[in-house]
């Protein structure tokens, strides 16, 4: 990771450096959800200052675990794309280091970044993991969840919790017809308030 950062000028990163400059940015990486008016004003300002805006992680992309309160009227936590245009998303809770490295490498070489869009099921096949839905009849969000984690949970015989959010066009109707109990698993996940789920499930 450091070998890529050495080729970039990091202007603003409070957690990693003491000297920061909040100005104009070629690329802004943003994590965290929008939970209040101050957050909203800040993300609007970041968007104005940035040539490219990249949402990092489930909180920025989907609102995070805290967005579960939206369904109960407790809190209001929303993803940043509810307020501004997002150019790229690096999903995960947490994100995958290799995906971030490949993203930075693509930017440095002037290529269009690639982020996996296929489902976790393909990663299970690559790892030789037994499908727990087939073998045990357990709920697994793998068929509707973006790859990137390396199928960690299924490889330990646990169902996928959907940490990387939904694939671009999940077949939710068929999936939930087969696994109606998956509604609750999705609703309690860090990606429950993802735009795809909002439009298809929580209208």
Structurally, what CATH architecture does the domain formed by 2-108 represent?
3-Layer(aba) Sandwich (3.40)
DSSP the chain: -HHHHTTS-----TTT-S----S-EEEEEEES-B-SHHHHHHHHHHHHHEEEEEEEHHHHHH--GGGGGGGTTS---B-GGGTS--SEEE-BTTB-HHHHHHHHHHHHTT-------SBHHHHHHHHTPPPHHHHH-----GGGBB--S-SHHHHTT-----TT-B-SS--HHHHHHH-TTHHHHHHTSTTTT-HHHHHHT--
Domain boundaries, the chain: 2-108, 120-200
Convert the pLDDT of each residue in 172-192 to its tens digit: 999 999 999 999 999 889 999
Q: What is the pLDDT along the chain (203 residues), one digit of tens a residue?
A: 566 667 788 899 888 788 899 999 999 999 999 999 999 999 999 999 999 999 999 999 999 988 878 887 777 899 999 999 999 999 999 999 999 999 999 998 899 888 889 999 999 999 999 999 999 989 999 999 999 999 999 999 999 999 999 999 999 999 999 999 999 999 889 999 999 998 888 76
- The model scores a pTM over 0.85: yes
């Amino acid at each position: 990771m450091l070998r890529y950062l050495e080729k970039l000028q990091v202007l603003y990163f409070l957690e990693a450096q003491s000297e920061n400059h909040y100005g104009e940015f070629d690329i802004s990486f943003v994590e965290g959800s929008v939970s209040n008016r101050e957050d909203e004003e800040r993300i609007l300002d970041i968007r104005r200052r940035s040539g490219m805006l990249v949402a990092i992680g489930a909180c920025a992309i989907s609102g995070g675990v805290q967005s579960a309160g939206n369904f109960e009227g407790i809190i209001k936590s929303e993803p940043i794309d509810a307020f501004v245009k997002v150019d790229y998303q690096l999903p995960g809770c947490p994100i995958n280091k290799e995906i971030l490295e490949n993203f930075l490498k693509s930017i440095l070489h002037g290529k269009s970044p690639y982020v996996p869009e296929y489902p976790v099921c393909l990663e299970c096949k690559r790892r030789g993991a037994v499908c727990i839905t087939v073998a045990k009849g357990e709920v697994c969000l793998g068929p509707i969840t973006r790859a990137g984690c390396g199928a960690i949970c299924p490889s330990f015989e646990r169902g996928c919790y959907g940490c990387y959010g939904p694939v671009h066009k999940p077949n939710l109707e068929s999936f939930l017809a087969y696994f109606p109990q998956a509604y609750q698993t999705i609703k309690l996940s860090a990606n429950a308030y993802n735009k795809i789920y909002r439009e298809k499930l929580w209208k």
